[in-house]
Chains A and B, each alone.
Chain A
Amino acid sequence: MSYLDLQGVEKYYDDFYAIKGIDLAIEKGEFIVFVGPSGCGKSTLLRMIAGLEDINGGQLMLDGRDITHAEPAHRDLAMVFQSYALYPHMTVEENMSFALKLAKVSPAEIKDKVEKAAEKLNLTQYLKRTPKELSGGQRQRVAIGRAIVRSPKVFLFDEPLSNLDAALRGQTRVEIAHLHRELGATTIYVTHDQVEAMTLADRVVVLQGGIIEQVGTPLELYDTPANKFVAQFIGMPQMNILPSQLFRSQHEGAVETGVRPEHMALVAHGEGELNGDVEMVESLGNETLVHINVNGNVQQQIIVRLYERPNLRAGDMVGVDADASRLHFFAADGSALRGEG
């Protein structure tokens, strides 16, 4: 039996079926990331685990204990909120010691734990300040510190980096990864940023419309997406998906074929597997993204990623070859077809 076990967990908001029976087994020490488009139920699922939303069906087990209906405080979980939710009238130190104080831990032990956490997070010099005297990144660290001092069984993060600017986000992402290695704590992390998902996760859970589309390591999701949704959701820019008959290699039962932008190469016009005109060229320095309308059809636009700088302009006619070993085939219902067909 795994550490944290979701068994057919469901959620209704009145008659809106928000979470449609989630089964998920999380091992001790794993870093799990929930991703999915906006409104897919990531936050709801996390809040159900936290105990902030009632679970309407199914079971939630943590370390062999049924916590489906336990009070949030009795679940042995700690959560870092998107808005940080620091207590504005308390100092950093009081914020971090609040839970321990309520749990009647001895003052000496509280002091010890808070100081250790503050040291880990570089907060020692800010202990006497109130949240409004801190920068966004520092507040973020206090929120994490508040979770750490409780030594919970599972850490929950709901889009913790979305209020930070791009540079700080990258830095904090590295810090969170470092912290996870150091503490080895089981972590569930919600984000809609796939870079965060790919870099932090041991396993990624892709959600859509209240169900799990696929669970796997970041590279599994990238290399062998279970269906068209995951294929297009993971990877920037998106996988190109076109009707199968446009390609040379075919697969039994496939109606659509997908290929990632980096698995295609430009050839002379008329000689490629696909041919079309260049719609736009995005030069990003390290790479170039070429948008091509296949057969001049704007509905069938693909993106080719090149790592050299081609001499192309909008309107040029080009041919494209796809790497036959890297094709993804999708059946009419969107599920991926694998193996020799």
Chain B
Amino acid sequence: MSSQARGNRTTSRLLMSPAVISLLLWMLVPLGMTIYFSLIYYNLMNPFLEGWAGLSNYEFFISNPAFGDAVWNTLLLLGSTVVITVGLGLAIALLINDPFPGRGLVRILLISPFFVMPTVNALLWKHMMMNPIYGFLAQVWTFFGAEPVDWLTDLPLFSVIIMVSWQWLPFACLIFITSLQSMDREQLEAARMDGANFLQQFRYLYVPHLARSISVVIMIEVIFLLSIFAEIYTTTAGGPGTESTNFAFLIFTEALLNFDVGVASAGALFAIILANIVAIFLIRMIGKNLEN
């Protein structure tokens, strides 16, 4: 390699370094502080308790009976929401793909839940839909002579899944509708002539065509749904017990209800690990689709 090329490389690295260094600091400083806090005793309610804690914060966080529940709830919330939004999203997108009168309006209505703030969404569901006395669902149940369900008490995690799915369904729909518009009509006609029924067309033409958008939807949803918080905070507050506590909410409980910054930091580091495990699976599963 000529010395000029080497010189060029040094210059370009030098010129890039401000951006890289500031990004690195942006990431490393909070991470470093979190690691540091996780290793000391640091409880806002007990200023006299201080000093090096070693791994005892981690031990405390793991041995918390809520820990296992939180991991399970996080994955369950994530998994069900992704399955529901992708499944229903595909169905709806296919349903409204063919022209019909009022399609524009239907599309706008379908997309609108995405613009509702998460807290508002949760409150709407909590009070208007799921309230066991005056909620809409209770009215429906009563109309059919059934005992109204007390959603947030009896099925807390399921209720949260419904709310979050309602919020994210439009996103999935939107991506799929857009993608369907680039579906080749002649290919579908060729498949019809080849004798493919709708299910076979779905399996052999639509799914391969939509594979990339499905990957994108899953990817983005996973990123946002790992840390669902507002919906839980405003509705069930993680309860009853820990039935609807996910990881983000557990860390919040430690930090701002128990005021234990040390344990909360240890929890945050576990969350990073969990996110990475999910990310590895995710990239294995769908990374291929994004490449080609």
Contacts and interface: CB of A to CB of B under 8 A. Distances in A.
Contacts of B187: 85-88
A81 B186 CA distance: 7
Contacts of A336: none
Interface stretch (A20-28, A95-103, A243-251, A265-273): A95-103
Interface in B170-207: 184, 186-187, 189-196, 200, 204-205
A50 interface: yes
Given A87-B204, A98-B204, A102-B200, A78 B193 contact: yes
A73 interface: yes
A87 B191 contact: yes
Nearest to B196: A102
Residue of B190, B200, B205, B209 ringed by the most chain A CB atoms within 10 A: B190
A51 to B, nearest CB: 8
A334 interface: no
Interface in B193-246: 193-196, 200, 204-205, 208-209
Interface of B: 184, 186-187, 189-196, 200, 204-205, 208-209
Given A98-B204, A102-B200, A83 B184 contact: yes
A206 interface: no
15 contacts: A52-B193, A73-B193, A85-B186, A85-B187, A85-B189, A86-B190, A87-B205, A89-B208, A98-B194, A98-B196, A99-B193, A99-B194, A146-B190, A146-B194, A150-B194
A323 to B, nearest CB: 47
Nearest to B195: A73
Nearest to A83: B186
B197 to A, nearest CB: 8
B180 to A, nearest CB: 15
Interface of A: 50-52, 71-74, 77-79, 81-83, 85-90, 98-99, 102-103, 146, 150
B184 A85 contact: yes
A87 B189 CA distance: 11
Contacts of A85: 184, 186-187, 189-190
B28 to A, nearest CB: 43
Contacts of A86: 187, 190
Contacts of B186: 81-83, 85
Nearest to B188: A85
B64 to A, nearest CB: 48
B136 to A, nearest CB: 41
A99 to B, nearest CB: 4
A52 B187 CA distance: 12
A72 B192 contact: yes
Nearest to B192: A72
A103 B195 contact: yes
Nearest to B194: A99
B190 A102 contact: no
B202 to A, nearest CB: 13
B195 A99 contact: yes
Contact of A81 (B190, B205, B208): B190
B204 A79 contact: no
B289 to A, nearest CB: 11
Contacts of B205: 87, 89
B190 to A, nearest CB: 4
Contacts of A103: 195
A77 B194 CA distance: 9
Most chain B beta-carbon neighbours within 10 Å: one of A51, A71, A77, A98 = A98
Given A83-B184, A87-B205, A72 B193 contact: yes
B193 A50 contact: yes
Nearest to B200: A102
Given A73-B195, A102-B200, A103-B195, A79 B190 contact: yes
A179 B44 CA distance: 86
Contacts of A73: 192-196
Contacts of B190: 79, 81, 85-87, 146
Contacts of B193: 50-52, 72-73, 77-79, 99
A90 B208 CA distance: 9
A103 B197 CA distance: 11
Nearest to B184: A85
Contacts of B194: 73, 98-99, 102, 146, 150
B246 to A, nearest CB: 37
A86 B205 CA distance: 11
A236 to B, nearest CB: 30
B193 to A, nearest CB: 5
B107 to A, nearest CB: 24
Contacts of A150: 194
A88 B205 CA distance: 9
Contacts of B184: 83, 85
Contacts of A82: 186
A52 B196 contact: no
Contacts of B196: 73, 98, 102
A170 B291 CA distance: 38
A50 B189 CA distance: 10
B56 to A, nearest CB: 54
A161 B216 CA distance: 37
B75 to A, nearest CB: 31
